[in-house]
Amino acid sequence: MGIRPSPERLRAIRVAESKARLTTTVAFFIMGLSVVLSLEPGAAVFASYAWFVIPVGLAVGISILFFGRRWMKQPQTCPACRQSIPWNSERCPFCRS
Ligand SMILES: [Zn+2]
């Protein structure tokens, strides 16, 4: 502790954060879209297919959140020794870089 993480490590963390933001945005966009598409155009009532479209949209959104989280937890590679590092570890456990 007290040692700043390497610039490569900071960059990897920033990439993981932007991935997280992207998957969350896409998931909520799809869930919102399923509700919007189920509204009858021009009227504030749900169309007859809403019972089908909304659950499918919610399921797709939730699975994107779920798989996006797994995707972010993919082990990363150490820039110095090419060993895979756990996604949440600050430094490489092999070469301490
Ligand atoms: Zn290493």
- Ligand 1 geometric centre to CA of 53 (Å): 48
- Ligand 1 geometric centre to CA of 59 (Å): 39
- Ligand 1 geometric centre to CA of 77 (Å): 8
CB crowding 20-35: b at 16 or more within 10 Å, else e: eeebeeebeebbeebe
Q: Where are the domains of the chain?
A: 7-85
pTM over 0.75: no
The series of mean pLDDT values per 10 residues for the chain, 97 residues long, is: 73 83 91 88 78 92 85 72 76 80
